Amino acid sequence: MSWFQLLSTRRYPDRPAEQPMPGRSPYLADYDRVVFSSAFRRLQRKTQVMPLPETDFVHTRLTHSLETACVGRSLGRLSARRVLENDPSIANELPDFAQDCGDIVASACLAHDIGNPPFGHSGEDAISAYFASDAAERFIKHLGAAEIADLQHFEGNAAGFRILTHTYPALSSGSAGLGLTYATLGAFTKYPRPSVINADKKQNGASEKKYGHFQAENARFKLVADELGLRPKDVAAGFYHRHPLAFLVEAADDICYRIIDFEDGLKLGLIDHERGLNLLRELRAAAPNARPKTSGRSGLEWRDWQEELGYLRATLIGQLVDETATRFAHHAPAILAGTYDASLVKELSGYEFLQEIQQLSVDKLYRSRPVLEIEAAGFEVLGGLLDVFLSAIFDKKENHRSRKLLDLLPNQFRAIGPQAGASAYEQILLLTDYVAGMTDQHALSLYKTIKGIDLPKGF
C-alpha cells in the first residue's frame, strides 16, 4: 500500500481531492463534521460503562469518544514522526505527513463508537439475540444467509460505517452520509470485511474478529477500498487488509477504555482503590526507561488517593502512546505489505498488567449488579421495540395498532416515498438504524410508552 494513496483527500462518494487550507486540513474538517452530527451528539446519553449514570464523573460514549480522539491525535502524530525517521522520503510527497496522520486518527477515533446502540455492548447482544430468537423467525426466514448474519451478529462498527456513508433518500437526494474523506473512512474501518467470509480466506488477524459493514454497504466499502488501494484478501467477498492508521485507532480505543473505565470503577468504589493504584503503579514501572516509583511529584505527597489516580492516568496514557508509536513505526513496512495484522497493545511491555486491569474491570465493574440489572432490562427494551415495530411493518392487514405504530416511525426509517421499493432486509435494516440510534433514555421511554407502562409527560 502507498501512503500517498492511503491519505486520499477525496470526499466520499465522488468529490475531487481537496487542497488543504492554511491551518485547516481536510481531515480536520472531518473532525468538525463528526462533532456537529446528530449521531455524535446522541452519544452523550449512551452507555460507556454504567448505563443511565446518576453521577456526573462517570464516562458516557461521548466523553469516551472525545478522550479517545485526543489520545488518537497524539498517537497518530508521534507514530508518523517515527515512521518518517525510518523513511524520510515520505515527506517528499506528503510534507504534512505527521500532522495529517494525527488529524485522520483523531477524526476516526471521534467516530469510532458512533454506531453503537443503547446500553453499551450489551445493546449489540440484545439486537443479535432478538434476531436469533423464535419471535424474529417470521421476519427473517426469507432473507439471504449473509443478510441474516448481519442481524444475528449485529455490529456497532458496521452501523457506524452506515451512518458515515448513508443519507436517507427521504431526507436528501444524495447518499453521502457525512461526506468524510476516504482516508478517515479507511482509518475508521477496523474490520474491513462483511459478516460472512469464506473459511479458507481467513488469516485470523486482529482485523478479522468482527465485521465492518453490512451487506447493504458492500458497494460503498468497495469504493473506499479501491480509492485507498487497500490490499485485498478476497475481492469478491469485499474482504481487505486494514488501512494502516486503523491500527492506531484500535490502539487509542484500547488504551482509553482499559485505563479510563478502570478509573471509573475506582471512583465508584466498585474496585478497591489500593489494589487498583498498585496495579497502575506496576504498569507504569513496566515501561522501557521507566522512572523510579515515587509517592508524589517533586517530593510532594498526594493529598488523597484520587489525586494520585489522576496523575497515574495521565502519565500512563502518555507512556502507552509513546511505546505504541514505536511499535507501529517498527511494523509499518509489514503493515503496508499486508503481512502484519495484530493488536499493537498486545506488544506493550506492560501488557500483562493491562490484562489484569481489564479482568478486574470485568469482574468488579462490568459485572456489577447495577450494570447487569440495567443491561438485562436493555434486552427486554430493545427486543421489545424491534418486535413491536417489525410486527407493524410486516402487518399485511394494516390494522389500527400497526398504523399508529408506523406513524411513530420517522419517515426516513420507513419504506415510503423514495424508499417504497425497499426489500424486507432493507426495511429491517432501516428499523435497526432507528432503534440503534436511540439514546438509553429514549429507548426506555418509548418502550414504556408503547407498552402502556407509562404515558408521555403532560397526560
- DSSP string covering 202-263, please? ----GGGSS----GGGHHHHHHHHHHHTPPEEEGGGTEEPPPHHHHHHHHHHHHHHHHHHHH
> Side chain identity at 146, as an amino acid letter?
A
Confirm if 145 and 196 have CB atoms less than 8 A apart: yes
**pLDDT value of residue 296:** 46
What does the pLDDT profile of the chain (459 residues) look like in tens digits? 999 999 999 999 988 888 778 778 999 999 999 999 999 999 998 877 765 556 556 788 999 999 999 999 999 999 999 999 999 999 999 999 999 999 999 999 999 999 999 988 889 999 999 999 999 999 999 999 999 999 999 999 999 999 999 988 766 545 579 999 999 999 999 999 999 998 888 888 999 999 999 999 999 999 999 999 999 999 888 899 999 999 999 999 999 999 999 999 998 899 999 999 999 999 999 877 655 444 444 455 788 999 999 999 999 999 999 999 999 999 999 999 999 999 999 999 999 999 999 999 999 988 888 888 888 888 999 999 999 999 999 998 889 999 999 999 999 999 999 899 999 999 999 999 999 999 999 999 999 999 988 877 765
User: What 3-state class would DSSP assign to 296?
Assistant: coil
> What one-character DSSP code corresponds to residue 16?
P
The DSSP element (H or E) to which 239 belongs, if any, is strand 239-240
Confirm if 326 and 82 have CB atoms less than 8 A apart: yes
Furthest-apart CA atoms within the chain: distance in Å: 77
The three cell numbers of residue 83 are 515512521
Distance CA 196, CA 426 (A): 18
Can you tell me which residue has the cell 407493524?
392
Beta strand pairing call for 232-234 and 239-240 = antiparallel
Distance CA 32, CA 395 (A): 42
**pLDDT value of residue 24:** 87
Distance CA 125, CA 372 (A): 13
**pLDDT value of residue 50:** 65
CA dihedral (159, 150, 64, 379) positive or negative: positive
Distance CA 60, CA 50 (A): 8
Name the burial class of residue 417, with classes exposed (0-12), middle (13-18) and buried (19+) by CB atoms within 10 angstroms of its CB: exposed
Distance CA 314, CA 39 (A): 29
CA 91 to chain centre: 30
Confirm if 268 and 309 have CB atoms less than 8 A apart: no
Confirm if 87 and 335 have CB atoms less than 8 A apart: no
Secondary structure of the chain: what % helix, strand, coil (to 5)? 60, 5, 35
Neighbours of 422 (CB within 10 A): 16
Q: Is the pTM of this model over 0.85?
A: yes
Is cis: bond before 118, omega within 30 of 0? no
User: What 3-state class would DSSP assign to 110?
Assistant: helix
**pLDDT value of residue 294:** 47
**pLDDT value of residue 299:** 55
**pLDDT value of residue 298:** 45
What's the alpha-carbon Rg for the chain, to the nearest Å? 23
